[in-house]
Amino acid sequence: MQNITHSWFVQGMIKATSDAWLKGWDERNGGNLTLRLDEADIAPFTDDFHQEPRYIALSQPMPLLANTPFIVTGSGKFFRNVQLDPAANLGVVKVDSDGAGYHILWGLNHEAVPTSELPAHFLSHCERINATNGKDRVIMHCHATNLIALTYVLENNTPLFTPQTVGRQHRVPGGVPGRRRHSAVDGAGHR
Task: Judge contact between 61 and 102, C-beta under 8 A.
Answer: no
The conformation of residue 127, written as its DSSP 8-state character, comes to H
What whole-number distance in Å separates Cα of residue 184 and Cα of residue 181? 10
Q: Which of 182, 122, 140 is nearest to 23 (CA)?
A: 140
Task: Judge contact between 44 and 10, C-beta under 8 A.
Answer: no
117 is catalytic: yes
Q: Which of 39, 111, 117, 127 is catalytic?
A: 117
Burial-class residue 67 by CB neighbours within 10 Å (0-12, 13-18, 19+). Answer: exposed
Task: Judge contact between 102 and 69, C-beta under 8 A.
Answer: no
Return the bridge partners of 91, or none. 72, 107
What whole-number distance in Å separates Cα of residue 21 and Cα of residue 131? 29
Q: Which residues have a catalytic role annotated?
A: 117
